[in-house]
């Protein structure tokens, strides 16, 4: 498996890199920096985590 871009609402926010049988998230946007280095079992799990994180972050800011 090669690296995969993770997008949120069409904007790239991170990259998934294979690491020890899982996928490591590398943040490329400040808003998802808290997820940097976290491991996921699938791209779908990573996208769900990004969506949940950003949705929660936006609701706290409002």
Contact 13, 50 (CB under 8 A): yes
Pairing of strands 22-27, 11-19: antiparallel
* Residue 47 β-bridge partners: none
Which tens digits make up the pLDDT trace of 31-42?
999 999 999 999
Summarize pLDDT for 10-28 with one digit per residue, the tens: 999 999 999 999 999 999 9
Q: How far is CA 30 from the centre of its chain?
A: 11
Q: Are 17 and 26 in contact (CB under 8 A)?
A: yes
Closest by Cα among 31, 42, 52 to 4: 42
The share of the chain scoring above pLDDT 70, in percent, equals 92
């Amino acid at each position: 498996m090669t690296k995969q871009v993770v997008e949120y609402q069409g904007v790239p926010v991170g990259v998934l890199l294979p690491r020890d049988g899982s996928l490591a998230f590398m943040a490329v946007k400040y808003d998802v920096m808290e997820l940097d280095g976290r491991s996921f079992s699938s791209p779908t799990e990573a996208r769900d985590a990004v969506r949940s994180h950003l949705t929660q972050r936006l609701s706290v800011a409002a």
